[in-house]
Amino acid sequence: MHSSITAAYLARYRSLASASEAAPAVLLPLTGAQRRFLITRHRDPRARTDVVPLFFAFPRGTVDLPRLRRAAVRLAERHPALCGEFTVLRGTPVLRLGEPSVEVARVAVEPAAERPEAPEHPDAPGHPDGPARAALRRALLDWPADGPVLRLLLAAGPDDEEELLAVALDHAACDEQSLGLVTDGLGAAYAAADDGTPAAVRTEAVEAYRAAVEGQLAAEANAVSSAAQAHWAARLGALAEPAHGARPAGAARSTGMAAERLPAVTGAARGGVFPALLDAVAAAAHHLGGGGGDDGGDDGGERVLAIGYPWGGRPAGAAPVLGCFLNTLVHPAPPGPPRDLDALGAAWWDDLDHADTPYDEVVRAARAAGASWSGTLDGLLTFEDLRRRPPLPLGGAAGREVHLAGRPLAAPLAVSASHGEDLLVRLAWDRERYPHSAAEAAFAVLLTTLRRHLGTPA
């Protein structure tokens, strides 16, 4: 076996921490996912910070901004990932601890008459969202390169009866599965008296974070085995780059979005939702790649496509700390009709047996098997079970979650599914690559495939 990327990182981190003029406790190690975020930014100054945002609507006047600021600081004091900065020191990504890294602000909203004329398509940025949503979108697109880690941004137009709150985090500090820690902690801190956080509690939080990250790194190192390499080589050996070459990740600033609500899936059938989504996303990606692009298709209709999805969780026994503990897994999607859900689900479960294998090691295994693939993704799928995330109550009102179009994408298309009282499915796409009509047609293919698998009527 070759040298493990994770083992090499740990050796560099320990050397850096021990040689630091500051106490070693000031520098904390990072998981594989966190390191990928930081290395991407470090190598390309034009790269944007990966952001995990939530948006909530509250009755106007509900949110007290100074109280919200105090709550954000208290939340950060209990989570080391929200304190200090994620940085690269001597080529080694680390978390350098410091004070709470938060911003709480009201975003200026331009009156509707002063905004540029709305674009043609209803999914385009600024229409029909209204000026408050457009202001929040601009603020998040302009995320400062040097932080902060947590931003709470409030916006309302002059005639709006509701105000919108963006709860947004640097992805290195929070993954989708830990968003419930944020909403629960922020709501509790907002409701509580401003007592501050004892030093002992902050020290315990640092040690809990360190233990969770070290547990994750141990799992990543152990996952680099001959069996894992053979599995991913067999699964991904047929992947190839598009004929025209891959576009830079996150290059799309202009994105569209389509959404549909389907009935919630209940009982034992709920376990089949994710593999059904995988096949539906693959069908949509092949539809776009087979002729929906601005250049008449990117050969995706004939290629085995790489569909990425985040998966994972805290190591066994780890404290509920904020951070990014997810790995990105890759699902190979060959062309052809919809797959048999049982067979697809069985292959997916086999992949989950090797879910801890670091992404870079997976790419290395695929290339060793003959894949002409650099690791770029043709599509992304994220899934959230809303039963795991409590609502955000502020000032006696529970925020109503809303969704904004126009977010940057790390792939030509991305599908987000939220499963709660219903199954909300959203498709976002790169408008510079795919015209509106082609994306809408691909979304129809996605929904048809998904309904077929789930037995949901149109």
Give the Cα separation of 4 and 220 in Å (integer). Answer: 9
User: pLDDT tens, 197-222?
Assistant: 888 999 999 999 999 999 999 999 99
Whether residues 235 and 195 fall in one domain: no
d(CA 265, CA 249): 33
DSSP 107: P
Same domain, 382 and 427: yes
Domain boundary among 216, 236, 266: 216
CA-wise closest residue to 355 among 242, 274, 249, 270: 274
| pLDDT greater at residue 382 or residue 405 | 382
Nearest CA-CA partner of 326 in 127, 33, 40: 33
Compute the mean pLDDT over every residue in the chain, rounded to the nearest whole number.
87
- Give me the pLDDT at residue 300, please: 56
Mean pLDDT of 443-452: 95
Q: What is the pLDDT of residues 281-338, one digit of tens each?
A: 999 999 998 654 554 455 556 899 999 999 988 888 899 999 999 999 999 999 988 7
Q: Angle 236-239-244 (CA atoms, 0-180°, nearest 5)?
A: 160
Least confident of 84-98, 125-139, 262-276: 125-139
Is residue 415 within 8 A of residue 426, CB to CB? The reply is: yes
Cβ–Cβ < 8 Å for 377, 410: yes
295 by Cβ neighbours in 10 Å (0-12 / 13-18 / 19+) ranks as exposed
Q: Which of 156, 190, 216 is the last residue of a domain?
A: 216
Same domain, 42 and 97: yes
Q: Is 52 helix (H, G, I), strand (E, B) or coil?
A: strand
Residue 188's pLDDT is what?
94
| Angle CA 8–39–35, to nearest 5 | 55
Residues 280/447, Cβ–Cβ less than 8 Å: yes
The answer on 421 and 344 residing in a single domain is: yes
CATH number at residue 447: 3.30.559.30
Angle (CA) 22-24-29 rounded to 5° is 120
Q: Please tell me whether residues 310 and 419 are part of one structural domain.
A: yes
- Which stretch of 88-92, 347-351, 445-449 has the lowest confidence by average pLDDT? 88-92
Predicted pLDDT at 75: 96
Q: Indicate whether 328 and 428 sit together in one domain.
A: yes
Residue 313 belongs to domain spanning: 225-454
How many folded domains does the chain comprise?
2
Mean pLDDT confidence for 417-432: 92
- Domain containing residue 194: CATH number: 3.30.559.10
Element spanning 151, H or E:
strand 150-155
Q: Identify the helix (H) or strand (E) that includes residue 54.
A: strand 51-59
How many whole angstroms separate alpha carbon 416 and alpha carbon 401?
A: 14
Claim to verify: residue 165 and residue 280 sit in the same structural domain: no
Do 165 and 134 sit in the same domain of this protein? yes
Q: Are residues 275 and 326 in the same domain?
A: yes
Question: How far, in Å, CA of 230 to CA of 234, rounded?
Answer: 6
CA neighbor of 325 nearest in space, from 340, 310, 346: 310
Instruction: Say whether both 408 and 348 belong to one domain.
Output: yes
Question: Which strands form 422-430's sheet, in the order they lie side by side?
Answer: 255-263, 422-430, 413-419, 379-385, 305-312, 326-333
Pairing assessment for the beta strands 379-385 and 305-312 based on DSSP bridges: parallel
For residues 189, 53, 43, 362, the Cα torsion angle rounded to the nearest 10 degrees is 100
